[in-house]
Amino acid sequence: MQKPLNATSVKNEIMILSECSPLIVFIHQILYTSAKLEIHSHLSNQENCDVKAVEHTLSCASEDKPKSSGGELLHDTVHDLKYKKGDRARSAQSKTLLPDSTKATNAKNVRMETKEHLSQSNCSENLLDMSKNIVKRACNPRPFDEISTTFVYIQNELLPPETGPSNLIDPVHEYKLMANTENASEKDILKKFTEEVFRFAAACMNSRTNGTIHFGVGDKPQYEHGQIIGLELRSPDKYIDEFDKRLEEYFEENTNVAKTCIRPPKFIQVKCPDNINVDKWVIEVDVVPNYSETLEKLFYTVTVKEEGKKKCKTECLFIRSGARTINVLADKNPRSVQEKMKKVTDDVKSWALSRKSAEERDSESIGQSSQGQRLKQLITHGRDILENSLQFIVITNKCHVSQLEHLSFLKELKLFVILDFDPESQKNGTCSYYRKDRMANIHYPRLYNTADNISSIISKLNLFKQTSWVFCNGQVNETEPDMPFSDGEWLKKRATEVSEMISLICKPDIISKEKLVVMFLLHSAVNDISSPITETFCAIYQKLEGDDNMLCICKDLTVFEQWKHVVQTRCKVDITSKCIYELSLNEINCTIQKTREPQTSSVNRYLPSFGSSSVLLTKKDQAQMTVLEILAENECENTEIETMDSFMQFKNKTEEDFYRGGQVKWWNFYLSERPGSIPFIKRDKYEELHNLITPTEGYSSPCIIINLFHHPGCGGTTLAMHVLWNLRRKFRCAVLKNNSAQSSEIAVQVTQLLTYGKEEPSTYTPVLLLVDNWEDSLIVIILNCERSQFPSESSRKSRIDSVFITNKLSTKEQAFFQMKLKDLKGHHEKPETFYAFMIMTKDFSEKYIENLVCNILKDLDVSKREGQLLSFLALLNTYVHGSCMSLSLCEELVGIKNLWKQETLEEKMNPYSTLLISFNVEECGTYQAVRFLHQMIAENCLKVLISKHNLKLSEITTNLLHCNQLYKSGMGKDILIQSILSMLITRQRKEHGDDKDTLFSPLIEEMPLAESKEVLTLATKRFDKNATVPQALARHFYLKEKDFTSALQWAQDARQKEYNSYIADTLGQVYKSNLKFMYETEQKNELTPEELDECLQLAVNATMAFKDSQDLAKKDDQDFLDQPIRKRQKTYNTSGYVGEIDVRASHYQWETLLCFLKNSTSLHSFRETEQRTAEFIPKLINHEKFLFSLKPRMKEIFEFFENYFTYLKPRSIERETAEDRNKRKVSEYFKKYVKIFCQSGEEKEMERASQPNLSLGQKLEDYRCYLEEKRANTFAGLLQCLTEKNGSQMELILKKWQFISENSKNCINQVNFILANIVLYCVKPRSPILKRFNELLHLLNVVLQEKGTYSEFTEAYYLAMLLLWPGKESNMVDTTLSKNICTYVTSTKKSFHRRFSHLFPAKSAIAHFYLGKSKELKRVIHKAKLDQVVDKEKHPNIHQLWQSGAIWREPEVHNLLQRVKGKTENGVIYVHYGGNLRIPVRPVYLGGLRSGCSMEEVSFFLGFTMGGPVAYDIKYTMDL
């Protein structure tokens, strides 16, 4: 009867070589399929689980390709595949060694060598026998005489062949399988185990060689020699107990020596190739016969055999003979034994001496190890200390739990990316250990493989700010595509992703090579040349063009040797000099920690909290606030650097960097407070700024903004940071590190800082945030440092609290600076070279700066590399504030190329380097950059280059554009290119703090016409994919040269590269400028029909481009014309609307054309008897559609602007100034429009007199024309009448609307009539022509019934919300209508969003009315009413009241407005009225509600916007 196929044989079978022919693979699959049913019926639950894993492997076995291993893979060929006889595989593996029931059987039944296994012939044995052809990897044994809880064996891998003694230190090996134990008792198994151990151990001790005996390792014929099989153990402790018990019996008087030389059994876990635990073990015993213990002794053993009731002792003397163990005393011939003993005695003496020498040599080699020094050299790039600027990419595999505690050095490194090949790392490995108290984002390789540019990827993944932990072989319990793969599957499905990710993260744009260390942290052996880690090494080796940046930390010598072999086989490079393998992980950990730079930050950092208490800010939480540099209340205190001998050097360097022109650091303030130091210079404006931040009367709003206007380089940011430093124990202070961060991200992190360590909102400690040139608002005290050419004027015009400082020192300040200079002379050798400080000490003297620069640059050779670099930096720093070049790029430009630099840029650029400073940049990566000490120095340097060295601006710019090195991959390349583009493109604007408005960038403006054109043309070639440069060149041609053909060519070129609203506007401006130029020419010459046709065609083209601009504005992200270096408030581009108005208004100049456009409906019916005029008619007919669209299209645009200005307001105060200018411009156009298309009152009276029987339609048109003239013809226009019209005017307007609504009953007319009544009531409450409230509700109900609740008619829903809002006593105004108030509120929000959502990034909805305390229309309070009731003497600046929120504290306002009660829920307030009525209300300010989604009762004032109801002055009931 055929025996069932077992799970192990199936597992072995499916691993057959892929080189097998398809026929053999097919046969295997058939055999497996036919046997599968039998397997499940014979296996246990655990075995069935194994079979499932086998099935998965079998399904893809035919897909895997064999990997060449250069000798690492041992296998037989397919031609040797034959069916042989063998015993059942299961008999060798599945039976327990320690069965529960002990059977009486002889110990002889326990067979140790596989050669003596029984053989049977059946199908299952045939399949098992075929497993000899499975690819079996060679593996190394466990490191000798080491206790390793992390070491495991992989089933079916091959250990090295058994060996005899060699150098006595390298261990000999002997393998035993321990098979055929199913009929043996536990006692017999343990006895046989100890016999074999002590037999082998005695042989090693007598031969004086180290050795290891392995149990659970197969041999031929059933297995390969050294094949790891494993044993199933239930009680390992019994093996140890038996070992200890029998040792004394075997060695008798030599027991103590034997105990010293023979190590206790070690149990090594066996796993499947797919890393599944199979619960099998290999037992190993090491023998170490040290000379000090064994000397020249012979070690006999005694075996005891039971013969009946008697015990017979047999003495043995074992030695190693080659790969075998022999008993010298086994010979029955006494003479032969005597001869052998004499020889063995002499041999042992010789072996003992050899052992002694071998141990001495081994000890010397260990003592001479220089691995610690090598580790320091590799990890520091040859420097003395581990600098904080170094970035690490770490590649690691599975680390055993017991070793994790020695990985704490990872927490001290700047980890850029971790490439983790342990799928369980986040569960119980390195990732889990690291993330306990450090921040790391979990990523997969595919996240790096996108079409986004490098800056976007860095920003999206928070690279450099937070560690990226990349699971390169997926994670356990994940599904595709993030599940773990076998090596073969990984190569097919994931290798490309990892390779592409490496290509990205190893780019010089990301990290420069001199700042990069790639660390391979190998906790286990890598012995496959195609393993994932090997492939990763090859990819990095190729990308970095060598191993200069690499460091390999190997767990031990065995791991190193395999790793070295694999790398040498694949890459043909010996990496020994890059590897650390003799140090323990603990030694490595301590060495790296000792090597790092002394810490300059406090170990524990604290934030101020309620009641003068403090909370600990953990490093992990701090790392989550990526855009904030947080100032701790104990900043710089109790730091490691203060305890070091190098502290004075650090102190002097910190002071020198600042006073030379570097950014002020918190250390500068701390050092000035140390005993014996002169206090930090307190500027005159310090107290004024401090008092604004800490007003005695408290804060009027949850968000306070204070502007600090300053000249560039006059100490504005330093002053602001000085205030923060002194308020660090009262506020939670922070500096915004990245102005380009999203407002939502900043808001989240500021809120996190505000609430950190807090449970009760009432105990929040205010946040004081310092920002540089910011234009958004947050719920926080924002101290905004704003650069301005006219700080005093900017401060005067500012609508919010502000302070200004200029580049002129007061007498008091000059005295402070002189005192500080004297102090610096006592601590520094040449403080007069601290030029930024000296500039301020000299009161920003232009003469001082000019003499300084001329003196230093007198010997400059501009033809050399140093001169070229200086000219580039001077140009950039003059025209782009904050611009810089990376240090590595500067070094490359002047010829410094070696990785471990011996020459510095400072030395190479001497003496000019005294004008430069290096500093850290943390945007788009962390790197060192170089700039001039002060912008005034850069400006004067540029002047010297032009005047003394005969360079032109255009020449320097051309050289800059021609220098290819600037545009290659490298750190900071994106920022540098952005700076260059900004220098060429960005115009000056007063609204941005500039001193004037310019048509082009200041650089282009200062160049002669021909040179500026040449530079811009060259820039289009350098930035051939950029659309803004050809756009600027198009503007140059049409504005400066009036070359409209070239302008059109370049505008269309820009359009092909990227078509956005700004480029579309430029295209329209080209057509418009050409049109106006022709108009100006025609005024001197008589217009011909052909010229008219050309003009009209230009007008058509211009309006089409402007319409494109209007459509594209809804999709724009930013202002593409002026690419700023810093973030600006988002705006909505309305230039397309203004441009179209301008084009259409230009036709107003043609009186002849307009005379029939106003009165005719078709040009075909127009007749002109005069020959000259008749010639124009065909040309006009060609453009008839355009001409007759003049008036309606103009009307549409004016309506757009009415909605734009009336329904919404800018999100920042600064934008209001720009909008006021646009309002005035649109108003001028409207006056022209009214003049042309709206008849005067006299004209209308004359027309009525001549035609007394005017039709109703004509009268309606006259009324509409009147309303249009008064800008009261739309809903938005009527809202503007609240502040622009008096009572009499509004009465007349209402009468017109009443006539129109009665005679033209469409919904728009009815809604406008209702609003006209509301506006008249607000302006003149006692007007006799006002409709009653119920009449208005009836009209509104008719409109709502007709329109439903899903239309775009926002205005109708707005009126419903305004008029139907429940009253003070919660009773409904009209039961039928008011029950639908929630529906109308929702309809208002949704319809408004559909119509205006594209404007939301730039604008927010305006509240025109507020809920009052009375009834009906009396409770509709408009904003102007609130302005009227406020005490003007007490508050002359009413706008300031609104901006600060103080308006809500005025008693007059409280008397007018009704406080509404509601309940917070998920960031929304719900107002509850009778029944189930819940009306949602949005807080008007971000952060108006506390975080945490607590459901609290609140009260507030209610405002009505076109986007829905909003809540002002929210108060929590529990706080009252």
Cα gap 529→514, rounded to integer Å = 29
**pLDDT of 1326 higher than 80:** yes
Angle at alpha carbon of residue 954, lines to 952 and 956, rounded to 5°:
70
For residue 791, say if its preceding peptide bond is cis, omega within 30 degrees of 0.
no
CB 930 within 8 A of CB 877: no
Span of 751-755, 800-804, 1040-1044 with lowest mean pLDDT: 800-804
pLDDT of residue 20: 34
Q: 3-state class of 920 per DSSP? A: strand
Residue with tokens 């055993």: 400
CB 525 within 8 A of CB 436: no
**pLDDT of 74 higher than 50:** no
Please choose, from the candidates 698, 691, 692, 703, the residue with its C-alpha nearest in 3D space to the C-alpha of residue 780.
703
Span of 710-719, 908-917, 1050-1059, 1075-1084 with lowest mean pLDDT: 1075-1084
Q: For residue 1463, what are the β-bridge partners?
A: 1470, 1497
Please choose, from the candidates 141, 263, 115, 244, the residue with its C-alpha nearest in 3D space to the C-alpha of residue 200.
263
- Assign 92 a pLDDT band (cuts: 50, 70, 90): very low
pLDDT of residue 27: 31
How does 204-227 read in b/e, with b if 16+ C-beta sit within 10 Å?
A: bbbbbbbbbbbbbbbbeebbbbbb
Helix (H) / strand (E) containing 752: helix 743-755
Residue with tokens 């395999």: 562
More confident residue, 453 or 84: 453
| Mean pLDDT confidence for 1354-1361 | 90
pLDDT of residue 40: 36
pLDDT of residue 21: 35
CA distances from 1380 to 1310, 1334, 1373, 1387, 1491 (A): 20, 17, 12, 11, 31
Q: Which amino acid is at 127?
A: L
pLDDT of residue 698: 64
DSSP secondary structure letters along 503-543: HHHTSTTTS-GGGEEEEEEESS----TTSHHHHHHHHHHHH
DSSP secondary structure letters along 1023-1048: TTT-SHHHHHHHHHIIIII--HHHHH
**pLDDT of 139 higher than 80:** yes
Angle between helices 1009-1022 and 1028-1036 (to 10 degrees): 160
- Assign 53 a pLDDT band (cuts: 50, 70, 90): very low
pLDDT of residue 1212: 62
Cα gap 1469→1473, rounded to integer Å = 13
Q: Which long-range contacts (CB under 8 A, 24 or more apart) does 1396-1401 make?
A: 1396/1203, 1396/1207, 1396/1208, 1396/1506, 1396/1507, 1398/1113, 1398/1114, 1398/1115, 1398/1132, 1399/1132, 1399/1204, 1399/1208, 1401/1130, 1401/1132
CB 17 within 8 A of CB 76: no
Span of 54-68, 614-628, 1203-1217 with lowest mean pLDDT: 54-68
- Highest mean pLDDT among 88-97, 319-328, 1164-1173 belongs to 319-328
Q: For residue 175, what are the β-bridge partners?
A: 214
Helix (H) / strand (E) containing 762: none
Give φ, ψ of 215 to 5 degrees: -110, 135
Cα gap 1351→1165, rounded to integer Å = 40
Beta pairing class for 802-805 and 704-710: parallel
Cα gap 957→1231, rounded to integer Å = 46
Cα gap 332→317, rounded to integer Å = 14
Cα gap 472→1361, rounded to integer Å = 56
Please choose, from the candidates 1309, 1102, 1142, the residue with its C-alpha nearest in 3D space to the C-alpha of residue 1233.
1142
Cα gap 683→1054, rounded to integer Å = 49
pLDDT of residue 686: 86
Cα gap 581→365, rounded to integer Å = 14
pLDDT of residue 64: 36
Q: For residue 1404, what are the β-bridge partners?
A: 1209
DSSP secondary structure letters along 1310-1350: HHHHHHHHHHHHHH-TT-TTPPPHHHHHHHHHHHHHHHTTS
pLDDT of residue 1215: 67
More confident residue, 68 or 1201: 1201
pLDDT of residue 1368: 62
Tokens representing residue 945 in the block: 């280059």
pLDDT of residue 277: 66
pLDDT of residue 1108: 93
- Report the residue count for the chain: 1520
Q: Which amino acid is at 789?
A: Q
For residue 702, say if its preceding peptide bond is cis, omega within 30 degrees of 0.
no
Cα gap 148→401, rounded to integer Å = 12
Q: 3-state class of 429 per DSSP? A: coil
Cα gap 1080→1085, rounded to integer Å = 9
More confident residue, 1088 or 895: 895
Span of 480-484, 502-506, 912-916 with lowest mean pLDDT: 480-484
pTM of the prediction? 0.67
Q: What is the pLDDT of residues 1146-1157, one digit of tens each?
A: 765 555 555 555
- Assign 694 a pLDDT band (cuts: 50, 70, 90): confident
Cα gap 832→1099, rounded to integer Å = 64
- Assign 1373 a pLDDT band (cuts: 50, 70, 90): very low
Angle at alpha carbon of residue 453, lines to 451 and 454, rounded to 5°:
125
pLDDT of residue 1054: 94
More confident residue, 897 or 96: 897
Span of 124-133, 733-742, 976-985, 1466-1475 with lowest mean pLDDT: 124-133
Percent of the chain with pLDDT over 70: 81
Percent of the chain with pLDDT over 90: 29
pLDDT of residue 287: 95
Residue with tokens 């064999």: 66
Tokens representing residue 721 in the block: 């940071």
Beta pairing class for 467-471 and 516-522: unpaired
Q: 3-state class of 1274 per DSSP? A: coil
Please choose, from the candidates 942, 909, 1120, the residue with its C-alpha nearest in 3D space to the C-alpha of residue 1031.
1120
Beta pairing class for 1508-1516 and 1497-1505: antiparallel
Span of 587-601, 1127-1141, 1187-1201, 1487-1501 with lowest mean pLDDT: 1487-1501
Please choose, from the candidates 907, 970, 899, the residue with its C-alpha nearest in 3D space to the C-alpha of residue 381.
899
What CA dihedral angle connects 45, 50, 56 and 59, to 10 degrees? Answer: -110
**pLDDT of 983 higher than 90:** yes
Beta pairing class for 732-736 and 767-772: parallel
Q: How does the average pLDDT of the chain come out, rounded?
A: 80
More confident residue, 802 or 174: 174
- Assign 1402 a pLDDT band (cuts: 50, 70, 90): confident
Tokens representing residue 816 in the block: 């402070």
Cα gap 485→483, rounded to integer Å = 6
Beta-carbon neighbour count of residue 1006 at 10 Å?
13
Cα gap 494→421, rounded to integer Å = 12
| Mean pLDDT confidence for 81-98 | 31
- Assign 1003 a pLDDT band (cuts: 50, 70, 90): very high
Q: Which residues neighbour 147 within 8 Å (Cβ) at sequence distance 6 or greater?
A: 266
Span of 292-296, 573-577, 1016-1020, 1205-1209 with lowest mean pLDDT: 1205-1209
How does 777-796 read in b/e, with b if 16+ C-beta sit within 10 Å?
A: bbbbbbbbbbbbebbeebbe
Q: What is the pLDDT of residues 733-784, one digit of tens each?
A: 999 887 777 776 787 788 888 888 876 655 567 788 877 654 444 446 777 7
Q: Provide, for the chain, the percentages of residues in helix, strand and coil under a 3-state DSSP scheme, each rounded to the nearest 5.
A: 50, 15, 35
CA distances from 520 to 148, 298, 553 (A): 20, 47, 6
pLDDT of residue 1494: 64
Please give the span between the terminal C-alpha atoms of the chain, in angstroms, as a whole number: 91
